[in-house]
Structure 1
């Protein structure tokens, strides 16, 4: 099982859109996938078609037991079958656990809970902050994806987040590594965005991942329809960028479908 946190320090950059795009790409790839929604806004929970959840991520963080996980994790509500895509939903209650002073065992409860599960891929939608929930997500993760836009404050925010990732690697999660930076909603026709992309590349070099994700109207349409990109007219082109990003994750993790592993083991 490979765990990836999708993070940002600034709301509105499309962090949840990246989680949902990766979930759609993983579903198309046939990977058993769990989306963990730690953002109290619950946008991923809504867009994945989960209504009125019973237990939520806050319950799991307070009691990382198998029976709590069993009550909380539900199939996604996306059309066209979702046996391989599950959700650990969020709610307003999750905000109560986003403590700036969280430390020690509090930061390891999510990691403990995920250790009881068996998925190919876990995607964590972390809130846009450096408080307890984001740090818990990073402690539980193998890789961190940092999402940003090509804006004036992008380099500063990404620098702060990378510093936090490095601190957590040294103190709480030695296996954590940054996968890189996803430049989202990129408009290459705008000179300012080209300049900000160049600034990111000067500061972070190959950590700025390719491809950048362009600004596409079909992405928010899919979220509003509570459907995957490949179920939308024009969504296939948008999905390609997320498939390439998933490929980076696969190369980092040597990720293969569980069915492929079983077939190889029995050969």
Structure 2
């Protein structure tokens, strides 16, 4: 593959980062308030559905996102829901704070469902999102696979979810797990488009964070992080005391996407492993002057 030129890097990279989205937990309201002046108004901010947080905490976080001028995307974890009643309680509460325009339907971490929903498709197939006025549903994508789900099953589920949402007249965004290597991501995008799925894709990108922390998340989610891959990303696993940003990765990804226009609508989703403020400041600075990771470290 021919390395992209710096000129092609800059314009494409700025465009890719222009409409980024973010992610926070129910406990991150103070961090959101700290970072709000740096985050562009209207930015989509996903609110996770963690097992150690309750529904009121998630609703409060979604309300804080809305109240500060951003667009909340609350996660709804199928296997963590104990009943349809709990699901409706959550949707009602989100509706009351104006946080139901867009949601992220995901299977969730538990190996066994706590209630009637074993997968995100089970949630989507009920038609309940239409009933509550949801306009857009985000669904998960895994460019490097999933440690517990066979790849053919991932593709079957993705096609089923995308098809069901299209039949229901709901907008669809595919939100991916983060990665360090552009090659499997680009191959996966081509496979998505080859299956006739034209939904917007938001590629997961880790924001700037400590190297040890980044590698810890990579191991947890089964992301490839060997020496060659992380060097390509822009840091070395022999120096776990430093920090790393996604500059090199975003530049390379943007240039390669620009050379393949058939990839359709592709944006990025920043995982704020180093905090909302640091991640948002990185995005603001990168949009002004895209840099390589080496330049960022100088």
**Under a length normalisation based on structure 2, what TM-score does the superposition of the two structures give?**
0.40
Q: Using CA pairs under 8 Å that are at least 6 residues apart, name the structure with larger relative contact order, 1 or 2.
A: 1
TM-score for both structures, normalised by structure 1: 0.44
Larger Rg: 2
The structure richer in strand per residue is 2
